[in-house]
Amino acid sequence: MEIDHNFYMNLALQEAWKYQVLTYPNPAVGCCVVGKHGEILAVEAHHKAGEPHAEVNALQKAYYQLTNNSEILELFTSHDIHTFLIKNHNNLFNECSVYTTLEPCSHVGKTPSCANLLSSLGVKKVYVGANDFNEEAAQGNEILQNNNIEVETQVLEKECSDLLLPFKNYIKGRFVFFKWAQRLNGTFDQGSISSAESKKQVHLMRDKCDLLIIGGNTVRIDRPTLDARLVNGKAPDVLIISREKEFDKNIPLFGIENRKVFIADNFDVMKHYKNIMIEGGDILYELTKDFVDLYLCYLAPKIGGERAFKNIDDELEILNADKAGEDIIMWMKKAQK
């Protein structure tokens, strides 16, 4: 395998996708710090809005790799890590390169500016995937260049832009993704399919989304709860898509405090929500295909079940594939025809 700039950027991308959607309303971002001999010092991502950016997490780990000083690992806020690095860097990063999927931020918001931090540390070169189109945070490249840091842009630009698709939609007002679990023979029915790790990931996503859409039949068959209990998270509001008006109110999803449940044969209520997850089968897939932005499939190494996605003639493009426990997880968008 050729170890080139794309190789390092790919590591940053792969790490960032693990937190896709979980950084809402922030973008998913990854960062890789490389030492003077090409050795990987850190591969990190932004985990959650309000917490350190990918660059800060990666520089924290890289500092530890270079110094073995574990004091820095005891710091958790972006502000504390910035302050520590600026005070203690001792020009350690002068020969290091930094690969970041998104232009380092220029503005001081909930966290200090990453472009300023990289400038203060005097890193050798910064490789950037996609430029920031969020006007508030853009101009990071310019700050770096004004501080004599070499900057190379558009490294794996298409892949880094795809990573930002949810964020672009948050900014426009609404992001919708369709998630389902299936077996190797394409079936999605008859109970538990996913690994424990996948189920935990799905609960992290439920915790972050504000509306969960589900089919009427699923509610009648599964009698689901649709909360985020595996991660002690909050339960999203629920929209049941159905031709029926009434459901058995003893079904656990109706018993969750502070949750709204809508029952409708249309999607109008979506206009009040910004981060929407659909958990559905083939019928819901057809009903929602005009407005779904991304698809997320958990593929389990199992065979069984009965109902599969049939009579659907669609092509999707895989944007990222990873493992979640025993399952393969795939983020996809509609293929350009």
Ligand X SMILES: NC(=O)C1=CN([C@@H]2O[C@H](COP(=O)(O)OP(=O)(O)OC[C@H]3O[C@@H](n4cnc5c(N)ncnc54)[C@H](OP(=O)(O)O)[C@@H]3O)[C@@H](O)[C@H]2O)C=CC1
Under the rule (CB under 6 A), what is the footprint of ligand AOF? 181, 192-194, 198-199, 202, 214, 218, 222, 224-227, 279, 298
Nearer to ligand X, 96 or 176 (CB): 176
User: Using CA of residue 104, residue 105, residue 106, residue 111, what is the dihedral sign?
Assistant: negative
Task: Give least dist CB 227 to ligand X, A.
Answer: 15
In the list ligand X, ligand AOF, none, the entry touching 225 (Cβ below 5 to 8 angstroms by class) is ligand AOF
3-state secondary structure of 307: coil
Chain Cα centroid distance, residue 235: 19
User: Using CA of residue 149, residue 152, residue 153, residue 157, what is the dihedral sign?
Assistant: negative
In the list ligand AOF, ligand X, none, the entry touching 265 (Cβ below 5 to 8 angstroms by class) is ligand X
Rounded distance between C-alpha atoms, residue 296 and residue 333, angstroms: 9
Task: Give least dist CB 241 to ligand AOF, A.
Answer: 12
In the list ligand X, ligand AOF, none, the entry touching 224 (Cβ below 5 to 8 angstroms by class) is ligand AOF
∠ Cα 328 333 337 (to 5°): 125
Cβ contact 98:55 at 8 Å = yes
Cβ contact 278:284 at 8 Å = yes
Nearer to ligand AOF, 62 or 205 (CB): 205
- Applying CB under 6 A, does 216 fall inside the site for ligand X? yes
Rounded distance between C-alpha atoms, residue 58 and residue 312, angstroms: 43
Nearer to ligand AOF, 134 or 217 (CB): 217
In the list ligand AOF, ligand X, none, the entry touching 202 (Cβ below 5 to 8 angstroms by class) is ligand AOF
Nearer to ligand X, 18 or 220 (CB): 220
- Applying CB under 6 A, does 204 fall inside the site for ligand X? no
- Applying CB under 6 A, does 222 fall inside the site for ligand X? yes
Cβ contact 332:292 at 8 Å = no
Nearer to ligand X, 112 or 280 (CB): 280
Would you state the structure tokens that stand for residue 41, as one six-digit string?
Answer: 């010092």
Beta-strand runs (E) in the chain: 30-34, 40-45, 97-102, 125-130, 150-152, 175-183, 211-215, 237-241, 261-264, 275-279, 294-300, 316-324, 327-334
| CA–CA distances in Å: residue 76 to residues 135, 209, 230, 276 | 27, 25, 24, 30
Q: Which stretch binds ligand X (CB under 6 A): 2-10, 19-27, 38-46, 217-225?
A: 217-225
In the list ligand AOF, ligand X, none, the entry touching 67 (Cβ below 5 to 8 angstroms by class) is none
- Applying CB under 6 A, does 327 fall inside the site for ligand X? no
Rounded distance between C-alpha atoms, residue 203 and residue 186, angstroms: 23
Nearer to ligand X, 223 or 323 (CB): 223
In the list ligand X, ligand AOF, none, the entry touching 226 (Cβ below 5 to 8 angstroms by class) is ligand AOF
Task: Give least dist CB 246 to ligand X, A.
Answer: 10
Nearer to ligand AOF, 109 or 252 (CB): 252
The interface mask with ligand X, positions 263-302, x = CB under 6 A, is: --x-------------xxxxxx------------------
Region label for 312, one of left (φ > 0), alpha (ψ between -120 and 50) or beta (otherwise)? beta
State which of residues 9, 193, 205, 211 lies at the interface with ligand X (CB under 6 A). 193
Would you state the structure tokens that stand for residue 21, as one six-digit string?
Answer: 């959607």
- Applying CB under 6 A, does 180 fall inside the site for ligand X? yes
